[in-house]
Amino acid sequence: MRRKFEEVITNESDFREIMGHPSERVTSKTIDHIDENCRLFIEQSPFIVVSTSDAEGNFDASPKGDPPGFVKVLDEKTLAIPDRLGNKRADTFMNVLQNPKVGLIFLIPGIKETLRVSGEAQIVKDKAVLELLAHKERLPNLAMIVHVEEAFLHCAKCIIRSKLWAKGVETADRKAPTLAKSMVDHGKLDITYEEMDTIIKNDEETRLY
């Protein structure tokens, strides 16, 4: 039996009365393509989570991992993800065949920010794509292509709260872009990276529990 609750939020007006509204800096960071900041992050990421749903709205979140850069940026609107050997359930692919909408989260060990990408997916077996996704000279049987509709770097609060990378160290030669850089670039903000970084750090210090 589904558990019942007494105070359920059922409309945006009631929700926003409690949550409030995001600032322009937050909303303007979303772009519709893979720019240099996103590409650098993807090239450093060895782990992603792929979210999909079937035609009836039943959701699945599937983890995928390989050496950093296993997801390839074919162009600014297109990503390619290899399908490695698994248990053949293929929940992600079964969902994509019914509903092509997908969401991706890219993680880099030791980096507090994450990259979120969403769009529409296709399952392909083009030889040129499979060769590009080969690992140790072994080609995947299939690849998932994601046609990018939204992309943005997500703030670090959830990683900080969870202490996910508590033993990780962010090195001085970090190649992935900072959240501050991506927000200024994506939102075309009239402030410096350093000023945006100060705002973010202040937010982390004052809004974490």
Output the pLDDT for position 209.
47
Q: What is the pLDDT of residue 173?
A: 61
| Mean pLDDT calculated for residue range 94-120 | 96
Q: Considering only CA atoms, which of 144, 48, 132 is closest in space to residue 90?
A: 144
pLDDT per residue as tens digits for the range 24-69: 877 778 999 999 999 999 999 999 999 999 999 999 999 999 999 9
Q: Is the pLDDT of residue 94 over 60?
A: yes
Whether residue 31 contacts residue 181, with contact meaning beta carbons closer than 8 Å, is answered with no
Residue in the block written with tokens 């990018």: 148
Average pLDDT score over the chain: 90
User: Residue 191's pLDDT is what?
Assistant: 84
Residue 148 has pLDDT above 70, yes or no: yes
Domain ranges of the chain: 21-206
* Strands across the sheet containing 59-65: 59-65, 47-53, 101-107, 114-124, 143-154, 78-82, 72-75
pLDDT mean over 107-116: 94
82 with 133: CB under 8 angstroms? yes
List the end-to-end C-alpha distance of the chain, in Å, as a whole number: 34
The answer on pLDDT for 207 being more than 70 is no
Q: How confident is the model at residue 201 (pLDDT cuts 50, 70, 90)?
A: confident
Secondary structure of residue 2 in the 3-state scheme: coil
Instruction: Indicate if the pLDDT at residue 158 is higher than 70.
Output: yes
Cα 125 to Cα 140: distance, rounded to the nearest angstrom: 9
Q: 137-151, 155-169, 195-209 — which is least confidently predicted? A: 195-209
Q: List all residues 6 or more positions away from 90 whose beta carbon is below 8 Å from its beta carbon.
A: none
Which pLDDT band, with edges at 50, 70 and 90, does 179 fall under?
confident
Distance of alpha carbon 192 from alpha carbon 197, whole angstroms? 9
Architecture (CATH level 2) of domain 21-206: Roll (2.30)
Token pair of 187, please?
A: 């939102």
Tokens 């929700």 found at: 15
